[in-house]
A = this chain, B = another copy of it.
Amino acid sequence: MRTIDWVPAEGARPGHIRLVDQTRLPGELRELDIHTVDALVAAIGRLAVRGAPALGVAGALGVALAVQTLPTGEVEPAVARLRAARPTAVNLALGVDTAWAAARAAGPEAALAAALALRDDDIAGCRAMAGRGSALLRRLLPDREKLTVLTICNTGALAAVEHGTALGVIERLHTDGRLDRAVVCETRPLLQGARLTAWELGRMGARYDLIVDSAAASVLAGGGVDAVLVGADRIAENGDTANKIGTFALALAAAHANVPFLVVAPETTVDTGTASGADIHIEDRGADEVRAFHGVPTAPADAPARNPAFDVTPAALITAIVTDRRVVEPGPAARSSSPLRMSLNEEEA
């Protein structure tokens, strides 16, 4: 199954986008056929498709749809609407820009080809991360035949196309017979761990346990976890990593329990223009997500709340960063250096 893909034209029926409606999960697996840019913009807006890599592919395929279905004068405004469907998602804009540049240079077929190349790059990149992450874990934990690994949020196929990043490594462990079980943090406030990661692990037949986020520290201290695997939204030049809120707490608990802490993310996540975590702006998503739990009020209706969507894990707490091109090990001395710039020669690690 792919989270998002292109259904080729067949006879008189033109090609279109097909994507998993993630708002229905975990209750129901339903695929949506998207025939217009407006339908795609609506699907992105209500989070039917989410996750940085998946949004990049959605943006590129959306441009292919636009140039194929719309009169010439309507294409550019439609592309602009698509690009702005989630203003903070840089991958969406990048995907749109890539396919739109191809369309303007070489026409509709080139736009579709660019979008499909982005899709294939994502699949290949996630496979590369899975291989590197799996090999790294074998090297870090040579005596462990089967591993129990802990993760947060959803970094699986649902956030990408066919395989995930951190959850892609876990999937590889599972298919290689090396996964004992996964421990999944539910990931408040939006519960991507409970809703999506638990569903993906169940679907792949992997053993797992769901926990509330605040239980991770004692589960780690209890000694039953071999490694922590997380994704990343942005990695600064010094290795400081912004990811889903709660990641930093996991890194502290992993360090206390002496458990390896791995960040798994595509190379595009590395932002050498950002010197350190102190330069990363953290979005606050407002009080409503905290005052309710899956639509049910949980606090006084007027309760003030802080809702930082991400936190920053200092490089010193990260055992290794695994991308589709390299493995970087910031190590405990990383605080003041720039491991991401210094180690470009680690490409083949």
Contact = CB atoms under 8 A, between A and B. Distances in A.
A193 to B, nearest CB: 9
B189 A188 contact: no
Interface in A262-298: 282, 287, 290-291, 293-298
Given A186-B188, A210-B291, A290-B210, A249 B216 contact: yes
Interface in A177-191: 183, 185-189, 191
A26 interface: yes
Contacts of A195: 298-299
B249 A217 contact: yes
Contact of A294 (B189, B298, B306): B298
Interface stretch (A33-41, A102-110, A307-315, A338-346): A307-315
B252 A303 contact: no
B252 A306 contact: no
A221 interface: yes
A200 to B, nearest CB: 10
A256 interface: yes
Nearest to A217: B249
B245 A212 contact: yes
Interface in A153-182: none
Contact of A217 (B26, B183, B189, B248): B248
A62 B195 CA distance: 43
B311 A217 contact: yes
A305 interface: yes
Most buried by B among A152, A183, A256: A256
A215 to B, nearest CB: 5
Contacts of A258: none
Contact of A252 (B252, B293, B312): B252
Contacts of A74: none
A257 B259 CA distance: 21
Contact of A306 (B194, B209, B282): B209
A340 to B, nearest CB: 21
Contacts of A294: 293, 296, 298
Nearest to A191: B298
A14 interface: no
A336 interface: no
Given A195-B298, A210-B305, A296-B296, A217 B252 contact: yes
A246 interface: yes
A214 B186 CA distance: 10
Contacts of A71: none
B249 A219 contact: no
Interface in A216-273: 216-219, 221, 245-246, 248-249, 252-253, 256
A284 B212 CA distance: 12
Contacts of A282: 218
Contact of A297 (B27, B189, B207): B27
25 contacts: A26-B297, A187-B214, A188-B212, A191-B293, A191-B298, A194-B291, A195-B298, A198-B299, A199-B300, A202-B302, A209-B304, A210-B287, A210-B290, A210-B306, A211-B290, A211-B307, A214-B214, A214-B246, A214-B249, A215-B307, A218-B248, A218-B308, A252-B252, A293-B294, A294-B298
